Amino acid sequence: MAWIDSLSRRDFLKGASAFGVMNAAMWLGGCEGCQQQIANRPTRRNIANLAANDPVIQAYKDAVHAMQMLPTNDPRNWTNQASIHQNHCPHQNWWFLPWHRAYLLYFERICRKLSGYKDFALPYWNWTTSPAIPSVFWGDGNPLFDSTRFIGPSDLADPSWVGAPVIESILSTNNFYVFASYPATTQRQGTTYGQLESTPHNNIHGWVGGDMGAFMSPLDPVFWCHHNMLDCLWVEWNINRNNPNTNDATWLGLHFTEFCDENGQPVDVTAGITTLFPAFNYQFEPCGPTHTQNLKLQQRAALEAYLKQGAPVRLDFTQRVELKRTITAPIGRPVVSAAKIEAQTISSVLASEGKTSALLTVDGVEVPEKTEFYVRVFINKPDAGPETPISDPHYAGSFGFFQDSHEMAGMAAGATHPKFGFVVDTTPALRRLSQSGSLAGSVDVTLVPVAYEKRRAEGQRLSIDKLELGIANVK
């Protein structure tokens, strides 16, 4: 279970809420047609490419104004949001990037909700190509203006901080620590600045000055677009240039619990989960000095580099039952496999209040040449077929493929196809069946390959190395 073991830690299921329901569902089962939704995830744009009356700019102004008007007991209130930074921001250590990524994600969601603009994606300020603070941040009465700044609209950031040669140099290191700052053991322990933090980050803060020069810097609306550029450069370094993040468990496992979602509810997200955000939640217009837009790489790297080479910490499985090995089935023919699991084991999972889950792990799923189908999973329904609705109480979830079709088509005949692993949380289905009294001592799993609507999948086949049902501690 190469990548799923590496991706999935006990915090994964909990942290997956950060993806939003549809994104988490793809990997945990229960979502169909997610590829399209992920492919269409919002694009964070270069603010220089947006007209002053662009809906994104207007929505950002509306959202900032709305947050400024919220009562002080609302965690989404403008000053309260800045206080999160003041009280919790990690600097001069390796949580600098993931913490700010999560901070921006939830801020973006708040903006989306309060502006009422459902397509809102936070724009970024590309100081390399536009070294002055963009014009939309200036003007009395403008919610995006901050009067404490030390600079004016025509001042330019120094090329030694943000110029293309220095940014290119920073992006050229392949060392995570040097790029993203050094290890620490606690969230606010300062150790050593990496180059992204020390050079463009620190200097832009100090140069803009005023609120931006201090830890209440998010009071200045330009803060969010400044950090969005840093996030974009992290994506450029990590995904587009294939530099791996650390897989150190200490880094991955730190929980950030100080953020709130768009409804003002507290959230809990780990640093490890933030590495997946660019694959699921948003994408960027290119921002690196020498970036060449490469959609193939974006799609493949996002899912392969992150999901296959992610966190090293494994789910804490207490029991694994092998259901089947080496499965090959043509599309349209369900695969049924059964395992005996003691009723008491299932009962304890259902009684654990979410502390344990029954996870179906599907290992070594060969990516077909044409990904014209996906796979539905049913529990204790051996007669399930493509026509069985997903509203059926036995339905546990689904998994699909997300692979660049051009790359697959370009593979030589007979070449080994890449293999993915998937996990489906069967606990909700087991609970439904238990409540209806239709759960006996054994658990059947039926995999049903289903062609996508209006696609032709004849002649394709589903090939799996191993199918297991496991009981895992997830909290």
Partner 1 sequence: MNRSRPQPPSSALLLAVALCSGFVVLAAARQEQPDHSREVTLSRQAPTASFPLDEQRMKQGKTIVALELKKVDNPSHAEYSIEVTLAGCNGAASSRQAPVGSLGVYPTGQEGGRYALDLGPALKQLLALGQTLRNTCLKMQLKPMRAATDWKRLRVTVSSPQWSDPGEEAPPPK
Residue 127 binds partner 1, judged by CB under 8 A: no
Nearer to partner 1, 182 or 402 (CB): 182
Enumerate the β-bridge partners of residue 290.
none
Burial class (CB in 10 A: 0-12, 13-18, 19+), 432: middle
Residues 198-217 that bind partner 1 (CB under 8 A): 198-199, 201-203, 205-207, 209, 213-215, 217
Tokens encoding 113: 């909700």
Residue 459 binds partner 1, judged by CB under 8 A: no
Residue 166 binds partner 1, judged by CB under 8 A: yes
The whole-angstrom separation of Cα 262 and Cα 108 is: 8
Applying CB under 8 A, which part among 177-185, 274-282, 406-414, 446-454 lies near partner 1?
Answer: 177-185
Q: Please select the residue that binds partner 1; options are 153, 190, 266, 410, rule is CB under 8 A.
A: 190
Nearest C-alpha neighbor of 430 from the set 373, 347, 317, 310: 347
Residue 316 binds partner 1, judged by CB under 8 A: no
Residues 383-412 that bind partner 1 (CB under 8 A): none
Minimum CB distance to partner 1, residue 215 (Å): 6
Minimum CB distance to partner 1, residue 289 (Å): 12
Tokens encoding 138: 């200036």
Q: Please select the residue that binds partner 1; options are 57, 151, 297, 350, rule is CB under 8 A.
A: 151
Minimum CB distance to partner 1, residue 158 (Å): 7
The whole-angstrom separation of Cα 389 and Cα 380 is: 15
Residue 228 binds partner 1, judged by CB under 8 A: no
Nearer to partner 1, 214 or 338 (CB): 214
Tokens encoding 364: 């070594």
Nearer to partner 1, 185 or 416 (CB): 185
Q: Please select the residue that binds partner 1; options are 37, 58, 80, 191, rule is CB under 8 A.
A: 191
Q: How many residues bind partner 1 (CB under 8 A)?
A: 44
Give CA 115 to chain center in angstroms.
Answer: 23
DSSP 329: E
Minimum CB distance to partner 1, residue 179 (Å): 8
The whole-angstrom separation of Cα 232 and Cα 92 is: 19
Residues 110 and 207: beta-carbon distance below 8 Å? no
Strands 356-366 and 269-270: unpaired
Nearer to partner 1, 48 or 151 (CB): 151
Strands 283-284 and 442-451: unpaired
Coil vs helix vs strand at 281: coil
Residue 345 binds partner 1, judged by CB under 8 A: no
Residues 6 or more apart in contact with residue 211 via CB below 8 angstroms: 146, 148, 149, 217, 219, 220, 223
Residue 119 binds partner 1, judged by CB under 8 A: no
Minimum CB distance to partner 1, residue 170 (Å): 6
The whole-angstrom separation of Cα 219 and Cα 142 is: 14
Nearer to partner 1, 155 or 322 (CB): 155
Coil vs helix vs strand at 464: strand
Residues 52 and 141: beta-carbon distance below 8 Å? no
Residue 173 binds partner 1, judged by CB under 8 A: yes
Q: Please select the residue that binds partner 1; options are 178, 297, 367, 390, rule is CB under 8 A.
A: 178
Residues 6 or more apart in contact with residue 268 via CB below 8 angstroms: 14, 15, 255, 256, 257
Nearer to partner 1, 33 or 213 (CB): 213
The whole-angstrom separation of Cα 333 and Cα 460 is: 11
Nearer to partner 1, 200 or 428 (CB): 200
Applying CB under 8 A, which part among 119-127, 189-197, 366-374, 424-432 lies near partner 1?
Answer: 189-197
Minimum CB distance to partner 1, residue 234 (Å): 16
| Total count of residues recorded for the chain | 475
The whole-angstrom separation of Cα 271 and Cα 254 is: 6
Residue 312 binds partner 1, judged by CB under 8 A: no
Within a 10 A sphere around the Cβ of 437, how many other Cβ atoms? 7
Enumerate the β-bridge partners of residue 357.
472
Q: Please select the residue that binds partner 1; options are 35, 195, 240, 388, rule is CB under 8 A.
A: 195
Strands (E), 1-112: 43-44
Residue 150 binds partner 1, judged by CB under 8 A: yes
Minimum CB distance to partner 1, residue 133 (Å): 13
Minimum CB distance to partner 1, residue 277 (Å): 24
Within a 10 A sphere around the Cβ of 264, how many other Cβ atoms? 15
Nearer to partner 1, 130 or 198 (CB): 198
List of residues contacting partner 1 (CB under 8 A): 91-92, 150-151, 155, 158, 160-161, 163, 165-166, 168-170, 172-173, 175, 177-178, 181-185, 189-195, 198-199, 201-203, 205-207, 209, 213-215, 217
